[in-house]
Amino acid sequence: MMLEFPGEFIPDKLIYRGAEAELWLGTWLNIRVVLKKRIRKGYRVNELDEELIKSRTLKEASLLYEAKIAGIKTPYVLHVNPVKGWIVMSFVEGKSLTEVIQEENEELLDRVGRDIYLMHSSKIYHGDLTPSNIIVVNCEPYFIDFGLGEKAIDIEKFAEDLNVLQKSLQSKLGDDYHKKWNTIVNGYITKGGEVAKEIVKRLDEINKRGRYKKRGEE
């Protein structure tokens, strides 16, 4: 089967294939870019599949744009084709937070916390806030992959974002994660004040619910 790409896109290589999308590295009008192609599902009714691809593509592109307008570093969206499920965005060349988290850099982690609050204060729920989706360029965090994100006002959603990041760091670092996580949380609260404290309080409640659930399963 012939691979289909936007006319101006010159593919270099496939860098990721998941259940929902492929990521292709290439060039667009001499700019280094990533093309995100949503994958069509043969088991879904065609009309439903087309509508889901269209709506999810538009939503992700919109969230990337809104986050950037809010002052958060994200890829630039250069082209969107919701019918095809394509988003062409600038390639963010750096290392993931996963790769650099072992380094001592409180300023970076504080900035991560501040920017996450900035995202939440803009009513953006990321949906997959793992260290792999935070790219570090010159000690600046860039947030990528808003494919599971949505607009939200419920602090439970924002606490869930924090919970995903917390659990990811804990899994990566073990007991050593506490200091680094506290630096992120302090940045979050410094930026957001009382509202941020309420969200962190809800995070603590989520963690308690998780512990109670584990005890009940033992």
User: Whole-angstrom distance between the N-terminal and C-terminal Cα of the chain?
Assistant: 50
- Kindly list the catalytic residues: 128
Q: Distance of CA 158 to CAs 6, 117, 162, 184, Å? A: 35, 9, 7, 14
Give dist(CA 198, CA 192) in Å, integer: 10
Select from 129, 148, 127 the least CA-distant residue to 56. Answer: 148
Contact 23, 34 (CB under 8 A): yes
Strands 124-125 and 150-151: antiparallel
